[in-house]
Structure 1
Amino acid sequence: MKEAALRAVVHRYISRLLEGRDDFDDNASLAQLGLDKKDIEELIFHLEDELGVTAFTDEEDQMLNSAKTANDISRFLIQISRH
């Protein structure tokens, strides 16, 4: 999947979590958007399933601790898709 398409998938899924609000910037803080660690974990697992990619548990744990924006999640998914 191309990077732009992957970013669109991430944005679309976060928009669903925000109950259809899609006017957020992909560099906006996920916490400021109202997403907590559990939301981010569900987001990552859902996107891995949807995109057919898998990360090692330690990679997922690291991502959960470092994901601050939608762009962070997109970069993570791009990275693990290269495995």
Structure 2
Amino acid sequence: MNRAAVRAVVHRYISRLLESRDDFDDSTSLAQLGLDKEDIEELIFHMEDELNVTAFTAEEDRMLKSVRTVNDLSRFLLEIGRH
């Protein structure tokens, strides 16, 4: 799993959740996009399925507390993909 593939999945799922809202970049705040904790949880579950990776509950909890940007989601998925 490479960074470009993960980034593409993250952007695709966020765009789908936002119903094709304007473009955004990796440094865009998830709060600016209007995503709340439940939205982020949903994104994580879908992206884990798409990328065939699984995070432990403690990892997901940690991520939910620390994720702020689109890039944070990509980094998290890359991190759990290394397990």
**What RMSD, in angstroms, separates the aligned Cα atoms of the two structures?**
0.9
- Specify which structure has the bigger relative contact order, considering alpha-carbon pairs within 8 angstroms and separated by 6 or more residues: 2
Q: How many residues are matched? A: 83
Runs of 4+ in 1 over 6 A off after TM superposition: none
Contact 1:7-1:74 at 8 Å conserved across structures: yes
Unaligned runs of 5+ in 2: none
The normalised TM-score by structure 2 is 0.95
Distance in 2 between the 1:22 and 1:39 partners? 18
Calculate percent identity across the aligned residue pairs.
77
Amino acid in the other structure paired with 1:53: V
Distance in 2 between the 1:24 and 1:67 partners? 16
Contact 1:12-1:22 at 8 Å conserved across structures: no
Unaligned runs of 5+ in 1: none
